[in-house]
Structures are given as C-alpha cells and as structure tokens.
Amino acid sequence: KAGVTQTPRYLIKTRGQQVTLSCSPISGHRSVSWYQQTPGQGLQFLFEYFSETQRNKGNFPGRFSGRQFSNSRSEMNVSTLELGDSALYLCASSSLYGTYHSGANVLTFGAGSRLTVL
C-alpha cells in the first residue's frame, strides 16, 4: 500500500513569491491534514480537509490556503512568502474525519516538503 506522497520534497523561493505544495493521501483516505514544522514552534496545525471541504483551520494568516480535490489529493498554497515561512510542511491522511484517534483511525504522515525562503 503506497504511503502519503508529498511533492516537491525540497524547494527554495524568495520573499514575495508564492508556492504550491501537493499531497497524495493513502488510497481510500478521505481526510488530509497539513502541518507546519519548525525548530522553534514544533508541529503546528494548518488545516484539515475531508471530502473536499475544509473542516478545521489552525491559527495561520490568510496567506496560507488549501484545497482538496475529488480524488482526495490536496494542495496547499502560501502567497507572499516571508522568511518565517521557511519550514517543513507535512501532510497527513486518515480514513476518518477529525484528527482524534481511535485504534482504527491513524494519521499517516508524508515525508514533507521542505521550503526555504530567501
């Protein structure tokens, strides 16, 4: 069973540019969550999509947006990049809505997209 695939794995952008990151969840998983990971703040929740609808959103500015397609693949976009947006962006998929866990509902993370903003 293929895991969560994130592309691109590494990218370098300059301030003011925008970036789009892609996530393909595990086949059959309908929930996709996005997290930002930095050494200073750790893992911070960005948003979650389930069946093409945003269900939950973290405390990030409107420059961060996302969407989910009918095949459950998801993209996130960051516009007007700032130096502080440099981070590892992680996507996670699960079979059920909501990021709480039962024994059957496990968040599976991708390897992440490492964004560097110069």
Partner 1 sequence: QKEVEQDPGPLSVPEGAIVSLNCTYSNSAFQYFMWYRQYSRKGPELLMYTYSSGNKEDGRFTAQVDKSSKYISLFIRDSQPSDSATYLCAMSEELLTFGKGITLSVRP
In three-state secondary structure terms, 84 is helix
Residues that bind partner 1 (CB under 8 A): 4, 35, 41-45, 48, 56, 90, 92, 98-101, 103, 106-112
Q: Residue 14: is it exposed, middle or buried by C-beta count within 10 angstroms (0-12/13-18/19+)?
A: exposed
For partner 1, the closer CB: 56 or 79: 56
Shortest CA distance to 117 belongs to which of 78, 90, 87, 86? 86
- The least CB distance from residue 96 to partner 1, in Å, is 12
Q: Which is nearer to partner 1, 28 or 70 (CB)?
A: 28
Cβ 97 to partner 1, closest distance in Å?
10
* CA dist 90 → 40, 46, 71, 82 (Å): 16, 10, 19, 18
Which of 30/98 has CB closer to partner 1? 98
Q: How far is the CB of 33 from partner 1 (least distance, A)?
A: 8
